[in-house]
Amino acid sequence: MLSETVAALSAARQAIWENEPADIARLRTRKGTRQQGASAILYATAKLGQLTVFLNHLRGVVLQNPVELETVKVITESLLEFYAAQYGGFYQLTDTAHIVRQAKHALAHVQSAEEYVRLIGELALYVGRVDYWVDYEIPWAQFGECFEQNLAHPD
């Protein structure tokens, strides 16, 4: 079960490594307050970045310290469910939500630190990759100029 899930995550990551994931087209359709899409994209990259950072930290902690694995798994499961619900429910990132939940279910089969590091590492690469694709959607240069103009002329 665990090896199959890690292989599935790896295949899913490789499929979106060079090709834009279908989630991005769905995210573009997501409109927030006043029918604008900027806040959905900005919030999506924030939430993807948060989970990527958490996963990398958890992976690093388990890799470099003697930890009580069952507690780490409970904490990780809680985080994965929280973010999966947000990705699918708030931002139309339904494939990403599915992948995160796949990893969450596989956690139950993790029996060693090495297995945890392998599973969470693969998930971190996947979520990080999706975050890169969302980042490409943000017109940072124009956004920065507009922000500065607003600061200079607040009215």
Partner 1 sequence: MGKQITITIGNEQGTAELLTELAPQLCETIERHLPLTGLLTHAKLVDREVFFQAPFFYDQAENNKFSEKGDLGFWNGRQSLCFFYDDMTPLGNIPTFARVTENLAGLQREAAQVWACPKTRITITRKEG
Q: Give the binding site for partner 1 (CB under 8 A).
A: 13, 17, 52-53, 56, 59-60, 63-64, 121, 124-125, 128-129, 132, 135-136, 140-141
Q: Minimum distance between the CB of residue 132 and partner 1, rounded to whole angstroms?
A: 5
Q: Minimum distance between the CB of residue 135 and partner 1, rounded to whole angstroms?
A: 5
b/e 9-45 (16+ beta carbons within 10 angstroms → b): beebbeebeeeebebbeebeebeeeeeeeeebbebbb
Q: Minimum distance between the CB of residue 10 and partner 1, rounded to whole angstroms?
A: 9
Cα gap 50→130, rounded to integer Å: 12
Q: Minimum distance between the CB of residue 103 and partner 1, rounded to whole angstroms?
A: 16
Judged by CB, which is closer to partner 1: 13, or 47? 13
Cα gap 63→137, rounded to integer Å: 34
Judged by CB, which is closer to partner 1: 22, or 125? 125
b/e 87-123 (16+ beta carbons within 10 angstroms → b): bbeebbbebbbebbbbbbebbeebeebebbbbbbbbb
Best CA proximity match to 90, nearest among 149, 124, 25, 43: 43
Judged by CB, which is closer to partner 1: 16, or 106? 16
Q: Minimum distance between the CB of residue 4 and partner 1, rounded to whole angstroms?
A: 20
Judged by CB, which is closer to partner 1: 56, or 94? 56
Judged by CB, which is closer to partner 1: 80, or 134? 134
